[in-house]
Structure 1
Amino acid sequence: MNGYGNNFYLDNVRVESAFAKDMAMIGLLLPQPAQLRTCDPGPQDVSVELWNAGADPQANVPVSWQLDNGPVSTDILPGLLAAGDTVVHTFSTPLVLPGSGAFELKVWTALGGDQNTANDTLTSDLTVDPA
């Protein structure tokens, strides 16, 4: 104990370089589960937020979504995403739910050579109540 600071100490701190190639899926913006409980299960936009967590700019990044074990819908992010920047992407193919029930929506990015795949995928449980 000493008279310096607020008695806040750091121990075992490491500083590491950022990966050169690291795209992260940071949010599923649409559909929001609450909307599906009260809406018609008709076409719904699928929108995600992605982050270039790597040190290098990235272009032509594949992003995909899949409902349960159904077909995969893939888009390519247009333009160049600088290191540290985020982007919101709305898929060209809307989500059409097959009716009421519980579903799992999975969204992911598939950057070739991504050095940190632990942050590439998000899932959301969706429930559509019967009308």
Structure 2
Amino acid sequence: MSHNVGCQGPIALTSCYATNTLIKEKRKLEGNSMTGSLNLDAYKAQQDALLAKYNGKILAWHDGKLVGIFDSKTEAMQEMKKRFEPGSFLIIKCAPGDAEYTRRFRSRVHVLSTSSHDEVVCPQ
């Protein structure tokens, strides 16, 4: 349901429409995020058992359930897009550890001083 309280005139209505559309899209993404979390949590909970059977395979998850086993991520994506809405499923390589679902970033930024007035310099 859209709420256009305080919107008057064509520009304001367009702005309110855009805002309401963004809110709906955000809610949709949050829903997908929750689904993604459900799928990832299901994978993590079963990871050890899955490794024994599917190590190296590509697994597809939807609504917290394993729904496909594939040889490649491309194959998995093509099939899952036919069956489910994009963003509602998880495709992940079955592998030990957390490397498939954790990303680590390193930076070469060095802080030369802790004073808030000094600059942070990046080595070249």
TM-score (norm 1): 0.26
The structure that is strand-richer by fraction is: 1
Return the index of the structure with the highest Cα Rg. Answer: 2
TM-score (norm 2): 0.27
Larger RCO, structure (CA 8 Å, separation 6 or more): 1
